[in-house]
């Protein structure tokens, strides 16, 4: 099984198979518009534009499960991404990434990569989680907005990155997969 077994709806309501991305290196990320990490959209767009012609894409899945930081409609989210960050990579409909209503893709991603890499234990986010939600740090659950999953050209999960990991930090890993 790979991510190609899943489908998802784009923000405009079009349902697509992730098999449409077969042969590409992907960075799948749960996003939010009103989060301290929201400026990562800029880095995600930069990395996308740098590598898209080499077979790379970012797939954004907005989620409102962390502090209510993605309250808008799918149309509002898409407009926010376009106006504020000139996002040109696919943005999907808002989904849940944890819990009984989590999107099947995210259930699969959590199973395949249950632990985050690049965890910055000195970051404000890590300290917040440790102080307020210590159990989440020990689980396979998505920890917060902007958790990222790197996927190879065959649809396999290669690595999971902690939310505070900047997209630019992942460029070496992306380049290795593109070669």
According to the 3-state scheme, what is the secondary structure of 117-168?
A: ECCCCCCHHHHHHHHHCHHHHCCCCCCCCCCEEEECCCCCEEEEECCCCCHH
pLDDT in tens, 105-130: 999 999 999 999 889 899 999 999 99
- Output the CATH code of domain 3-178: 3.40.30.10
In this predicted model, what pLDDT tens digit does every residue of 62-99 receive, in sequence order? Answer: 999 999 999 999 999 999 999 999 999 999 999 999 99
Task: Name the band, by pLDDT with cuts 50, 70 and 90, for residue 100.
Answer: very high
Sequence ranges of the domains in the chain: 3-178
Query: Which residues participate in catalysis according to the annotation?
Result: 35
Longest dimension (CA), the chain: 42
* pLDDT tens-place string over residues 136-170: 998 999 999 999 999 999 999 999 999 999 999 99
C-alpha separations of 53 from 48, 76, 136 in Å = 9, 28, 37
Q: What is the band of 49 on the pLDDT scale with cuts at 50, 70, 90?
A: very high
Q: What is the pLDDT of residue 118?
A: 87
What mean pLDDT, rounded, does the chain reach? 96
Q: Is the pLDDT of residue 45 over 90?
A: yes
**Mean pLDDT, range 25-46, rounded to an integer:** 97
**117/32 Cα distance (integer angstroms):** 21
Q: Which residues contact 154 (CB under 8 A, 6 or more apart)?
A: 2
Q: Token digits for 46?
A: 């930069």
């Amino acid at each position: 099984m790979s991510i190609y077994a899943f489908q998802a709806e784009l923000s405009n309501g079009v349902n697509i198979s992730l098999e449409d991305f077969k042969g590409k290196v992907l960075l799948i990320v749960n996003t939010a518009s009103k989060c301290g990490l929201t400026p990562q959209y800029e880095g995600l767009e930069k990395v996308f534009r740098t590598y898209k012609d080499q077979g790379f894409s970012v797939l954004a899945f907005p989620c409102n499960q962390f502090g209510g930081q993605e309250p808008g409609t799918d149309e509002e989210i898409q407009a926010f991404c376009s106006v504020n960050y000139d996002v040109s990579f696919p943005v999907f409909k808002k989904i849940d990434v944890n819990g009984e209503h989590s999107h099947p893709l995210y259930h699969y991603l959590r199973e395949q990569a249950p632990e985050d890499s690049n965890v910055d234990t000195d970051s404000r986010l890590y300290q917040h989680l440790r102080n307020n939600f210590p159990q989440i740090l020990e689980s396979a659950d998505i920890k917060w907005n902007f958790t990222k999953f790197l996927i190879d050209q065959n649809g396999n999960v290669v690595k999971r990155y902690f939310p505070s990991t900047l997209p630019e930090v992942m460029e070496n890993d992306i380049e290795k997969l593109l070669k």
